[in-house]
Amino acid sequence: MTAAAAAVVPSEAYAGYLDCLTDADEFAATEMAIDLLDAGVPAERVLLDLVAPAQAEVGERWARNEWSVAQEHAATHISEQVIAAVVAHVKPASTRGRVVVACMDGEWHALPPRLVAEVLRLRGWQVTFLGASVPAAHLVSYLHRHDAHAVALACALPMRLPHAHRMIEACRRSDVPVVVGGRGFGADGRWARRLGVAWAPDAPAAAELIADERALRAVPPAQLAHLADDEYTSLVRRRAELIDSGLARLRERVPAVRAYTPAQVDATVSDLGHIVDFLAAAVYVDDASLFTEFVEWLAEILVSRGVPAGAVALPLEHYAVALRDFPRAERVLAQGRAAIRH
């Protein structure tokens, strides 16, 4: 292979790597990644053009109910091993300051920020990767003890945005500039702008931003004046009651729900919790699209698993009545209901 041809990940290598994930063949997957490095493909490209899209494809297969959670977990584990092997193979030297990379409190999608952490390491930063679900107080005390140039915070689920905001504010009080990323901030980063924080769409963009401290600190203020109406706080206070009454409503209206096994009841309670949390997050950032994108996704997931779309419509209808004194939540729910009607 010539150096020019080796600069990118060939499509057949990508297909072969996906087969390794399908077969849960950790050693073959690692070997393929190392072979690409040996053929001259830069480590950053192996991480971003092989591991990252394959991992996203894993998610699509799970969403379509083609892959079980066990298959997804096996593939994610292999991706983690491959990332470690690629970086260990290159052994990058650290020549720049320290960057701390962490997931928001309650956020278990550690693999995407791990990719960001390793790209930063490959570009010479001294990186501390704190992994999944880091409580804000622990992150802040870590930042106090270590002189960090910047902190990169990940959020994959938009329902965690209110927590993300608290965490961003806590880091700012320590005077450490923050960059955020991940699917949770919206495909175009619009909810990061709402929270008034620097956002990067991917690892290379994050690396460029971190290298430019002025740009990192020059962010317009948050646009959250709507929070003065207290709807978000009141909604969160009613979370448990909304889940209980949503389940009672489903039992009353859908006979099959009355015969659910304990595991099915748990899954339903978890879905209702997500509905309330996504609704609260949409109210927090004052953007109904956060909720409509979620209910469309949930309806698709449930339908692909044989649950009727009505199982999503019914709780939304119930919440619209229960929350009639919450004008913003009511608007968000109305748009959510319209989205799954088509």
Catalog residues that contact ligand B12 under the rule CB under 6 A: 48, 52, 55-56, 58-60, 62-63, 72, 76, 106-113, 115-116, 152-154, 156-158, 179-183, 200, 202-203, 206, 294, 297
Instruction: Provide the token pair at 230.
Output: 């207290």
Between 72 and 229, whose beta carbon lies closer to ligand B12? 72
Contact (Cβ atoms closer than 8 angstroms) between residue 63 and residue 304: yes
Closest separation in Å from C-beta 272 to ligand B12: 12
Between 1 and 56, whose beta carbon lies closer to ligand B12? 56
| Closest listed residue to residue 164, CA positions, set 177, 154, 174 | 154
Between 2 and 214, whose beta carbon lies closer to ligand B12? 214
Between 6 and 267, whose beta carbon lies closer to ligand B12? 267
Between 93 and 187, whose beta carbon lies closer to ligand B12? 187
Closest separation in Å from C-beta 274 to ligand B12: 7
Closest separation in Å from C-beta 228 to ligand B12: 27
Between 111 and 322, whose beta carbon lies closer to ligand B12? 111
What own/partner pairs with CB < 8 Å and gap ≥ 24 does 38-44 have? 39/1, 39/6, 40/1, 40/3, 40/6, 40/7, 41/6, 41/7, 41/8, 41/9, 42/7, 43/86, 43/87, 43/89, 43/90, 43/92, 43/122, 44/119, 44/122, 44/123, 44/203, 44/204
Closest separation in Å from C-beta 55 to ligand B12: 4
| Closest listed residue to residue 56, CA positions, set 115, 133, 123 | 115
**C-alpha–C-alpha distance, residues 73 and 85, integer Å:** 18
Closest separation in Å from C-beta 68 to ligand B12: 12
Classify the phi-psi angles of 160: left when phi > 0, otherwise alpha if psi is within -120 to 50, otherwise beta: alpha
Closest separation in Å from C-beta 66 to ligand B12: 12
List the Cα angle 211/205/42 in 5-degree steps: 95
CA-CA-CA-CA torsion sign (46, 47, 48, 52): positive
Closest separation in Å from C-beta 31 to ligand B12: 21
| Closest listed residue to residue 232, CA positions, set 194, 186, 270 | 194
Between 187 and 228, whose beta carbon lies closer to ligand B12? 187
Q: Which residues pair with 128 in a beta bridge?
A: 100
Closest separation in Å from C-beta 117 to ligand B12: 9
| Closest listed residue to residue 51, CA positions, set 105, 116, 108 | 116
Tell me, what amino acid is at 269?
V
Between 140 and 290, whose beta carbon lies closer to ligand B12? 290
